[in-house]
Amino acid sequence: MKLGKFILPLIFVIGLVVYLSLFTVKEINQAIVLQFGDPKKIITTAGLQFKIPFIQNVVFLDRRILSLDPPPAEVIASDQKRLIVDAYARFKIIDPLKFYISVGDERVARSRLATIINSRIRSVLGKQSLATLLSEERSTQMSIIQEGVNVEAEKFGITIIDVRIKRADLPQANSEAIYKRMQTEREREAKEFRARGAEMAVTITSTADRKVTVILANAQKQSEIMKGEGDGIRNKIFADAFGQDPEFFSFYRAMQAYETALIGGDTTLILSPDSDFFKFFGNSGVIKEQ
């Protein structure tokens, strides 16, 4: 009975010691075994590992490619244009011991890297014009930034995989001023287009009116020519008819004159009965018979 009282606590203590002696390193991690804060072992392979309980402890570090999103930085380009640059970076811890000694943990490392990246962005992009930063040459500038950041990051046991710009905008006040200037420019262009359109409309209308006038004048001219030719033919016919029978032609013209003067009008004529106008109404023989 007394032996059983000692075995159960002993088993518990042994189990606790074994439990505290074992730890697992995952595929995504790497570990540093510390003894009273002093690094004793670096573990970069996944699996079950051992440590001295109560004396040693383990610090786990991520071995994956990590993302860093530093706050936007204001850059003054070489042409004195202000630009808000929002960049991001990807980095990886390649030397766990140097990383732990220099920065301690990932939070401090991110803060230090963000400061270095923004400083490098200002240093490199500040030597370029705004047009360069907005062109394809920006990739070259980002490579230069990455190389410069890598030099500093190596001191922390970190390598920079990539540095890229997510967004590059003008400050809000500058954006509004540029927008207003663009709006004014577009309004001016619109007025010029309208003025040119009105000028073209006047030109087209004037040309059309001139063509109409010319066409009407030519038509009137042709009409007068045709009318003159018709009158000439008519007169010739009348002249030929008069030449064949002068008395009948004279009688026909008198009948037309009677029709025009005496029918359907309110005009009163006072003429002598023996005037030439009434010579076809009768002759002296007829008058004597009446």
SS (H, E, C) 165-202: EEEEECCHHHHHHHHHHHHHHHHHHHHHHHHHHHHHHH
pLDDT at 289: 37
Question: Under a CB-based contact definition with an 8 Å cutoff, are residues 113 and 151 in contact?
Answer: no
pLDDT at 171: 65
Question: Under a CB-based contact definition with an 8 Å cutoff, are residues 114 and 68 in contact?
Answer: yes
Encode pLDDT of 212-226 as tens digits: 888 888 888 888 888
Query: Which of 125, 48, 135 minimizes the C-alpha distance to 83?
Result: 125
Q: Which residues pair with 29 in a beta bridge?
A: 62
Q: How many Å apart are CA 109 and CA 94, to the nearest integer?
A: 13
Query: Which of 4, 6, 25, 23 minimizes the C-alpha distance to 14?
Result: 6
H or E stretch covering 222: helix 172-244
Q: How many Å apart are CA 193 and CA 199, to the nearest integer?
A: 10
Domain ranges of the chain: 2-62, 66-170, 245-289
Q: List the structure tokens of 288.
A: 């004597």
CATH superfamily label, 66-170: Band 7 domain (3.30.479.30)
Give residue 51's Cα distance to chain centre.
63
Question: Under a CB-based contact definition with an 8 Å cutoff, are residues 72 and 125 in contact?
Answer: no
- What is the pTM for the complete model shown? 0.54
Q: At what angle do helices 106-125 and 138-153 cross, to 10 degrees?
A: 140
Query: Which of 77, 97, 89 minimizes the C-alpha distance to 113?
Result: 89
Taken in order 167, 170, 173, 179, is the CA torsion positive or negative? Answer: negative
Counting as low any pLDDT under 70, the low residues of the chain are: 1-6, 134, 170-179, 241, 245, 258-259, 261-290
The neighbour count for residue 223, using CB atoms within 10 Å, is: 10
Encode pLDDT of 182-211 as tens digits: 788 888 888 888 888 888 988 888 888 888
pLDDT at 290: 35
